[in-house]
Amino acid sequence: MGEQEDVRAAVNYMAGKAEKIIVIGYSFGALVGMRAGCGNARVRMMIGIGAPVADMSFLMDCTKPELFIHGMLDELIPVEKIEKLIRELPEPKRLIKIEGADHFFTGKLGEVSESVKSLVKEYLPI
């Protein structure tokens, strides 16, 4: 609960500074950010990087873009589990798989960064 309050506080802060708010989280932070962002009208889209699949049922009723970046060699959250979750989610949704990336995206952070930029440009053009 405390982590979700942190996300809400960050969104409240950004609300006065930006018109397009995106919540992006990594691993457990993806779960927390997406949970807090889904119900917040000011959040336009959410990106989960290396997101866990446990307890993501709240996304089933979320109509915002739910975008995921996942490592093909993630040893903590196998890519097959995130693929199954994505199949069950309503649109809009998207999964970008990073070849050769583990859970920490070792040596692949540039690809993660480019993927985030691509998703933002596609789903929230200027």
Contacts of 94 (CB under 8 A, 6+ apart): 65, 66, 67, 68, 86, 119
Q: Which value, to the nearest 10 degrees, does the dihedral of the CA atoms of residues 47, 52, 55, 58 take?
A: 10
- Per-residue pLDDT band for 33 (boundaries 50, 70, 90) equals very high
User: Which numeric CATH code is attached to 2-123?
Assistant: 3.40.50.1820
**In this structure, what token pair is assigned to residue 27?**
């691993």
pLDDT score for 55:
84
- Per-residue pLDDT band for 125 (boundaries 50, 70, 90) equals confident
Domain boundaries, the chain: 2-123
pLDDT score for 19:
87
Write down the pTM of the prediction.
Answer: 0.93
The beta strand positions in 27-106, using DSSP E, are 43-49, 66-71, 93-98
Indicate whether 1 pLDDT > 80: no
Q: What is the mean pLDDT of residues 7-17?
A: 93
User: Could you read off the pLDDT of 48-106 as tens digits, one per residue?
Assistant: 999 999 889 999 999 999 999 999 999 999 999 999 999 999 999 999 999 999 999 99
Q: What is the mean pLDDT of residues 28-33?
A: 96
Strand order in the sheet with 43-49: 21-26, 43-49, 66-71, 93-98
